[in-house]
Amino acid sequence: MDCRSVRGDWDISVELGSRIVDSEEFTCQLFSGHIGSGKSSELIHRLQNYLSDQGFLVVYFDANRDDMPDDVEYADILLACVSNLLRVLPVSSVQRSNSLVDWLQQNWEWIQQFLPERMTLEEVKAEANLGFGKLIATLKTDPDRRPEIRRRLNEKTQTLLTALNEFIDHAQENLPDHQKQGIVVIVVIVDSLDRVLSTEDEKRQSWRDIYISRSQQMRGLKCHVVYTVDIDMVYSDTGAMLQNKYHCCLILPMVTVRYLDGKVNRAGIDILRQLVQKRIAAISPNLVANLDGKSPDSGEPAIFDSPEILDTLCLMSGGRMRTLMHLVQDSLKYNEGEVTITDRSMRRALQELSNSYSTVVDDFQWDILARIATLHDKTTVANSSENFTLLRKGHLLEYRYYKGDKLDVWRDVHPLITMSRKFKEAREKLGGGS
């Protein structure tokens, strides 16, 4: 989905892509946003396609699916970069550049102890990615041996990074389809790091170690790199440090379902409706004809009993795509076996998800949320630690919208939070009505 018009003209091709295209030296950028807001779609379908059209070789991988352990550390990320560059770059580059094979050979005595099955060094030389892949598999599946592997890797990360950069240098010189004289042409996109990194208070040190303490090595690949980063880290005391240490740290805006004045943004609702329609069409194209009521000429049941039901779900999602999908799925779950989503099942889904959101709101935060909701001008919501906490949790959402040449950026309470009894009570205390 092209959501630029409802994200305040925010375009990943311009915001991230142009920095890569216009730079003769390698860049390292961070990309953030709420989980489920569409970051992966922007990276895969817009940024990757844009850069490929500009003649760059893009190496994209999903850290959440790339056999990476949940308690990921820098060494895991470096290994994943090695494995995926070996996977994507032409075989001829691997054969002519032996820096990574040399690294395996120099460290083979300890590496082979951690492989799930015996391999000879000759086998690894023939297919370098096999050795790295097996080591990654052990890290993922064997938590007992993980600390020792990481200890060994941490002692060798600089030599591995050096070997990888030699491999990248050689590969860029031998990419016939990506000739750009003197310009870096390889781009590595590491997606979903925000999903594998824990953001619980007692574990936040892990991502501080990666993005802050290891920032020099994270920026150390001799190619362009884009890492995703948890929004929890951006909206915290480390946000300024991230901006200082990396070339760029951008946040994906939410889809605007309401304007700053509170009026419904029909364009935003229509974009989200199209998203649901595409998901339904992927299951059965025939169902789309009955999206908002049964067509007289169709033998298929209606998906939504009326257009207003889907509109309400889109509005109550707050512009967060994953929340919308959950609401649709839950509406079906509470539909007593019927295919058509009714007003009753929709309201049950809204109440249940609202309750889930509300259970993780601290008592003192209800007053803060109520005050924000009653603000006449929501562009004035403060950059305070309390508000950053609400942004991290997704209880407060950030929007942007261009009205002519004027850009408005504002924050508002998630619609599902406003359904809560405690929110309504807090707002009553402020004299803001229900």
Same-domain pairing of 179 and 201: yes
Residue 256 falls inside a structural domain: no
Residue 340: domain span: 266-358
Same-domain pairing of 392 and 343: no
pLDDT, tens only, 246-268: 988 999 999 999 999 999 999 99
Residue 259 falls inside a structural domain: no
- Give the pLDDT score at 310: 95
Same-domain pairing of 337 and 370: no
pLDDT, tens only, 95-142: 555 798 889 889 988 998 888 777 777 777 667 777 888 888 888 888
Residue 109 falls inside a structural domain: yes
List, in order, residues 6 or more apart from 239 with CB less than 8 Å away: 233, 249
Cβ contact 104:54 at 8 Å: no
Residue 261 falls inside a structural domain: no
**Rg of the chain on CA atoms, in Å:** 24
pTM over 0.85: yes
Same-domain pairing of 191 and 328: no
> Last residue of some domain: 358, 391, 410?
358
Same-domain pairing of 74 and 115: yes
Same-domain pairing of 246 and 101: yes
Same-domain pairing of 160 and 135: yes
Cβ contact 275:328 at 8 Å: no
Residue 30 falls inside a structural domain: yes
- Give the pLDDT score at 324: 96
Same-domain pairing of 167 and 129: yes
> Last residue of some domain: 191, 225, 251?
251
- Per DSSP, the residues of 220-271 read -SSSEEEEE--HHHHTSTTHHHHHHHSSEEEEPPPP-SB-TTS-B-HHHHHH
- pLDDT band for 397, please (50, 70, 90 cuts): very high
> Last residue of some domain: 329, 358, 387?
358
Domains of the chain: total: 3
